[in-house]
């Protein structure tokens, strides 16, 4: 049985180079090497939730600022990135502890939370009250609006504010380099 400490939250600016290296290593391993430089870049610049155990970093997640337009209104959105649990520490509730810390940040600093979930990760999020957005997903890119059909069905929101009360409305995300969402 793994003994864990409390979840620590810290801004990217407050993490040491060694901590950032440990986070990137965890994400690389957790995503089977499919965690590109753009994915790493998307994880930086916001608040991180970290759980350590006697072996080191056991779990991580981050929430970064994005803008999302819904029903004619741009919402300050806490976008969840880089949620991972070390393989030997899984199924011990650490993902839920990380998400609780990130949801606290979202509740206090943003209008809406959003994330893009893998099939494996969706169960964690739906169990916590996140739900898959039913409407179109797009991004406002350098050349205008770009529809993202591959993100439809895997984009989750929490909690749904009154400003985004129509679950069939289009969500338009701000543009970023690499994988748009």
What is the Cα gyration radius of the chain? 16
pLDDT digits (tens, 9 = 90+) for 94-103: 999 999 999 9
pLDDT tens for the 181 residues of the chain, in order: 546 568 999 999 999 999 999 999 999 999 998 899 999 999 999 999 999 999 999 999 999 999 999 988 999 999 999 999 999 999 999 999 999 999 999 999 999 999 999 988 899 999 999 999 999 999 998 889 999 999 999 999 998 655 456 777 899 999 887 655 4
Largest Cα–Cα distance in the chain? 52
Tokens of 165: 């009360």
Tokens of 131: 């739900």
41-61: burial string, b at 16+ Cβ within 10 Å, e else = ebbbebbbbbbbbeeebbbbb
Helices (H) and strands (E) in the chain, counts: 4, 10
For the beta carbon of residue 152, count every other beta carbon within 10 angstroms: 16
Third-level CATH fold of 8-174:
Aminopeptidase (3.40.630)
Tokens of 53: 């155990």
pLDDT digits (tens, 9 = 90+) for 57-93: 999 999 999 999 998 899 999 999 999 999 999 999 9
C-alpha 108/C-alpha 116 separation (Å) is 21
The pTM for the full model equals 0.92
- Cα separations in angstroms, 67 against 49, 77, 93, 121: 21, 6, 30, 23
C-alpha 139/C-alpha 27 separation (Å) is 25
Q: Which residues have CB under 8 Å from 13's CB, separation 6+?
A: none
Instruction: Name 84's bridge partners.
Output: 60
């Amino acid at each position: 049985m793994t003994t864990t400490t409390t979840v620590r939250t810290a801004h990217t600016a407050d993490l040491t180079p060694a901590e950032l290296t440990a986070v990137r290593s965890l994400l690389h391993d957790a995503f089977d090497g499919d965690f590109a430089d753009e994915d790493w870049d998307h994880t930086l610049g916001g608040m991180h939730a970290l759980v350590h155990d006697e072996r080191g970093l056991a779990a991580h997640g981050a929430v970064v600022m994005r803008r999302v337009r819904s029903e004619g209104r741009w919402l300050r959105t806490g976008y969840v990135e880089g949620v991972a649990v070390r393989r030997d520490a899984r199924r011990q509730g650490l993902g839920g502890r990380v998400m609780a810390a990130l949801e606290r940040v979202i509740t206090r600093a943003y209008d809406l939370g959003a994330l893009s979930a893998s099939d494996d990760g969706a169960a964690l999020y739906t169990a916590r009250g996140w739900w898959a957005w039913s409407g179109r997903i797009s991004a406002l890119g350098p050349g205008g609006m770009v529809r993202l059909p591959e993100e439809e069905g895997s984009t989750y929101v929490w909690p749904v504010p009154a400003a985004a009360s129509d679950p069939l409305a289009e969500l338009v995300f701000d543009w970023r380099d690499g994988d748009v969402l």
